[in-house]
């Protein structure tokens, strides 16, 4: 095994384990994206006359086979590989010979990993937006089933004004529509091609065509100047985690409402038996654990965001190895968002409101009474407010 950076000097096993960290595990999701980035890079090298067309064909076909084999579970990234980049290049070179060894011309692991990450993030943002759309469909279905059921609207945890299941669902639907917009906005920092910036200072004397790889990979633009690529690291990651945090805060508030409505004291809703668990000691209990975990999901997301922001805070320009630690909170935040959105949609499909248990207090119509005194009797609103307030004063 020869890692991309090795020069024949010994490396202590403890240092390898510490510096490789979790990359050999985390990078599994980046394999198809590193295949895409490497293929586009090789195509550009051939177009620029820096490698032979035959070498490009061998690289392209070899990478395609390696990507498919990884997807089928035929190989995985090991600690000795260190990361996805070494894993692919060493296997490619073993399979096709010298052509594989020509692939790394004009790039560094620094722009290579950033390219794979951004391609992955673009897909992850779109995938999550699609899942949020599915959550909105579950809300819409609930509103269609029981939208006309009356609910008391609460302020300060007190019954305040009349509401309905349709209004309740509608508020959360707008919040999730906003989340989809936010995920779309987060793509702006992802949609920039860093490939060809190499270690952060370009490839002096090497005629790369960075715009060609931008077009091949479907990026919106080529990131310029080359020094901007490493300086921008952490921004796209944190931007996505910020939108995920806001999304999961709304998921958590939806869960909090349902938890309150599910209590025996409220009993506004029933939950599907498939979505509740039990107690190991109390045989009568059906516990809404899934909603409690959904309520906590935004804490995980915010912790991931905070970690990403703190890793990049006050770093000098240029590449720093600290940036490797962005992957763990980034992937963790994305995964908890995907799981939480999907499970909330499933829970909503089994929610049923129980109108017989929902008995709003008459006082929730107090504001309507005040408005009627204004519109029908011509009272100034403040006088109407006091008159109605005296009626309900205790």
Based on the residue annotation, tell me whether 297 is a catalytic residue of this protein: no
Question: Which residues on neighbouring strands pair with residue 163, listed in sequence order?
Answer: 151
C-alpha to C-alpha distance for 204 and 217, rounded to whole angstroms: 23
| Residue among 70, 156, 216, 298 flagged as catalytic | 156
Q: Cβ neighbours of residue 52 under 8 Å, at least 6 residues apart? A: 46
Question: Which residue, among 323, 336, 315, 107, has the nearest Cα to 234 in the 3D structure?
Answer: 323
Q: Please state, in angstroms and as integers, the Cα–Cα distance from residue 381 to each residue in 153, 362, 366, 376, 384, following that order.
A: 22, 20, 13, 12, 5
Q: Hey, what are 81's tokens?
A: 């590989």
222: tokens are 């080529």
Using DSSP, state whether 94 is helix, strand or coil: helix
Question: What is the CA 343 to chain-centroid distance, rounded?
Answer: 15
Angle at 320 between CA 318 and CA 322, to 5 degrees: 145
According to DSSP, the β-strands at 221-222 and 192-193 are parallel
Annotated catalytic residue: which of 78, 272, 279, 317?
279
3-state secondary structure 276-325: CEECCCCCCCEECHHHHHHHHHHHHHHHHHHHHHHHHCCCCCCCCHHHHH
Is 156 considered catalytic here? Answer: yes
Q: Of 113, 115, 102, which Cα lies nearest the Cα of 58?
A: 102
Which residues are known catalytic residues?
A: 156, 279
């Amino acid at each position: 095994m020869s890692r991309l950076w090795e020069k024949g000097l010994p490396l202590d096993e403890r240092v390898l384990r510490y510096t490789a960290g979790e990359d050999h595990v985390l990078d599994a999701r980046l394999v198809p994206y590193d295949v895409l980035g490497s293929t586009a890079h090789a195509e550009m090298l051939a177009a620029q006359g820096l490698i032979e067309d035959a070498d490009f064909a061998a690289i392209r076909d070899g990478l395609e086979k390696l990507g498919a084999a990884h997807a089928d579970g035929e190989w995985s990234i090991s600690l000795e590989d260190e990361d996805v980049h070494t894993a692919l290049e060493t296997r490619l070179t073993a399979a096709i010979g010298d052509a594989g060894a020509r692939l790394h011309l004009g790039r560094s692991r620094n722009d290579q990993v950033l390219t794979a990450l951004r391609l992955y993030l673009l897909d992850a943002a779109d995938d999550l937006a699609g899942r949020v759309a599915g959550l909105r469909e579950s809300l819409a279905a609930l509103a269609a089933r029981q939208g006309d059921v009356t609910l008391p609207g609460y302020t300060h945890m007190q019954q305040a004004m009349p509401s309905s299941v349709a209004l309740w669902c509608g508020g959360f639907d707008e919040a999730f529509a906003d989340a989809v917009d936010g995920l779309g906005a987060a793509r702006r920092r992802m949609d920039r091609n860093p490939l060809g910036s190499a270690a952060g200072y370009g490839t002096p004397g090497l005629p790369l065509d960075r715009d060609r790889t931008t077009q091949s990979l479907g990026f919106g633009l080529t990131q310029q100047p080359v020094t901007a690529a490493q300086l921008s690291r952490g921004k796209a990651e944190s931007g996505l985690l910020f939108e995920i945090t806001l999304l999961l805060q709304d998921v958590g508030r939806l869960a909090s409402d349902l938890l309150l409505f599910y209590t025996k004291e409220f009993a506004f809703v029933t939950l599907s038996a498939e979505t509740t668990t039990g107690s190991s000691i109390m045989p009568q209990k059906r516990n809404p654990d899934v909603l409690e975990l959904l309520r906590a999901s935004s804490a995980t997301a915010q912790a991931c965001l905070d970690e990403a922001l703190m890793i990049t805070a006050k770093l000098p320009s240029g590449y720093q190895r600290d940036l490797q630690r962005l992957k763990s909170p980034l992937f963790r935040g994305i995964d908890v968002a995907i799981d939480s959105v999907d499970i909330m949609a499933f829970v909503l499909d089994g929610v049923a409101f129980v109108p017989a248990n929902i008995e709003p207090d008459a006082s929730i119509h107090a504001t309507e009474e005040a408005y009627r005194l204004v519109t029908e009797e011509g009272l100034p609103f403040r006088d109407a407010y006091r008159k109605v307030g005296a009626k309900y004063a205790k």
